[in-house]
């Protein structure tokens, strides 16, 4: 009998973790509405991040995959169980400033990483309930229905989503800046956007992008770091600058434009 956990069981664990996070946040908002915008213990952290992280750990800390306890690499609590066969990379609330302001673009992003890379991912919009799932080699879904990228090849016709401020207009038709990388990538995966450009410099971490990265890849899209560095990393302090697109042609164009783009202004008051 194989000790490798079936993909469906991995996704089920990630789904249960998302459910726990969503329930904990609902309870927190109902019980202590005055603390919904309260800051946490470190710069850029909110009290809701701490609540969500504890809920994620309540499921993952007792989980077993591939015959061993699950490791956890969380934005809020760091890395535990680094040597385990499967480590779940957790952003309990990606877009926590949006969450604190009740802007409906924030997510719980989970990616199960093994020796082969990201095995499975679940990214759930915690405001709307929309849930993206992906399995390595098994495709990607939105609320259970298969998704695919737009396939737009021409930048002049593309609508792109940006992370941060662009230092220059790169030739796209339109752009949006929404504030949650995991959901931005999933919106490329389902064709809502044609591409995504990170306009910051090495400001996003694996928990921000690994879940969405697999969703994009399994939906037929392309994702890379602008300096061609590996994206799958469990090293604390890892930072990357991402570009994603639904077609190879647009992907190559966005990479080229991002590599020569002048620095944008930092977001005022951004953590």
Q: Model confidence over 38-87: pLDDT tens digits?
A: 999 988 899 999 999 999 999 999 999 999 999 999 999 999 999 999 99
Query: What are 47's two structure tokens?
Result: 């009290």
SS3 per-residue string spanning the chain: CCCCCCHHHHHHHHHHHHHHHHHHHHHHHHHCHHHCCCECCCCCCEHHHHHHHHHHHHHHCCCEECCEECEEEECCCEEECCCCCCEEEEEEEECHHHHHCCCCCCEEEEEEEECCEEEEEEEEECCCCCEEEEECCCEEEECCEECCCCCCCCHHHCEEEEECCCCCCCCCCEEEECCCHHHHHHHHHCCCCCEEEECCCCCECHHHHHHHHHHHHHCCCEEEECCCCCCCCCCCCCCECEEEECCHHHHHHHHHHHHHCCCCCCCCCCC
The pLDDT mean for the chain works out to 95
pTM listed for this prediction? 0.95
Residue 262 has what pLDDT? 86
- Give pLDDT tens digits for 142-195: 999 999 999 999 999 999 999 999 989 999 999 999 999 999 999 999 999 999
Domains, the chain, ordered by start = 7-146 (3.30.540.10), 155-260 (3.40.190.80)
Residue 3 has what pLDDT? 62
Q: Residues with Cβ < 8 Å from 56, sequence gap 6 or more?
A: 17, 20, 21, 72, 74, 90, 92, 108, 110
- Give pLDDT tens digits for 220-236: 999 999 999 999 999 99
Residue 59 has what pLDDT? 99
Taking each helix axis as running N to C, give the angle between helix 7-31 and helix 47-60, from 0 to 180 degrees, rounded to the nearest 10: 140
Query: What are 73's two structure tokens?
Result: 């690499």
Tell me the residue length of the chain: 271
Q: Is the pLDDT of residue 132 over 80?
A: yes
**In the structure, what pLDDT confidence band is assigned to residue 269 with cuts at 50, 70 and 90?**
very low
Residue 169 has what pLDDT? 93
Residue 270 has what pLDDT? 45
- Give pLDDT tens digits for 84-100: 999 999 999 999 999 99
Q: Distance (Å, rounded) from C-alpha 55 to C-alpha 168? A: 41
Query: What are 227's two structure tokens?
Result: 């300096």
Residue 199 has what pLDDT? 96
Q: Distance (Å, rounded) from C-alpha 118 to C-alpha 223? A: 13
Dihedral pair phi/psi, residue 34, rounded to 5°: -70, -15
């Amino acid at each position: 009998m194989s000790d490798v956990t079936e993909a469906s069981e991995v996704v089920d664990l990630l789904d249960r973790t998302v459910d726990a996070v969503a329930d904990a946040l609902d309870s927190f908002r109902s019980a202590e509405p005055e603390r919904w915008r309260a800051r946490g213990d470190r710069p850029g952290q909110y009290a809701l991040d701490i609540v969500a992280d504890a809920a994620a750990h309540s499921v993952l800390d007792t989980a077993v995959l591939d015959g061993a306890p699950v490791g956890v690499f969380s934005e809020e609590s760091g890395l535990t169980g680094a040597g385990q066969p499967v480590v779940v990379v957790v952003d309990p609330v990606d877009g926590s400033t949006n969450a604190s302001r009740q802007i409906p673009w924030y997510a719980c992003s989970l990616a199960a990483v093994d020796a082969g890379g990201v095995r499975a991912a679940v990214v759930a919009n915690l405001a709307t309930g929309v849930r993206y799932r992906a399995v390595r080699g098994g495709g990607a879904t939105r609320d259970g229905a298969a998704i695919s990228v737009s396939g737009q090849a021409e930048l002049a016709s593309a609508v792109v989503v940006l992370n941060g401020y662009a230092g220059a207009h790169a030739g796209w038709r339109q752009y949006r800046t929404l504030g949650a990388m995991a959901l931005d990538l999933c919106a490329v995966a389902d064709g809502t956007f044609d591409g995504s450009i990170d306009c910051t410099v090495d400001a996003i971490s694996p928990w921000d992008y690994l879940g969405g990265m697999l969703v994009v890849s399994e939906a037929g899209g392309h994702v890379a770091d602008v300096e061609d560095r590996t994206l799958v990393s469990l090293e604390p302090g890892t930072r990357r600058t991402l570009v994603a697109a639904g077609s190879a042609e647009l992907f190559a164009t966005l990479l080229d434009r991002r590599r020569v783009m002048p620095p944008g202004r930092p977001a005022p008051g951004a953590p």
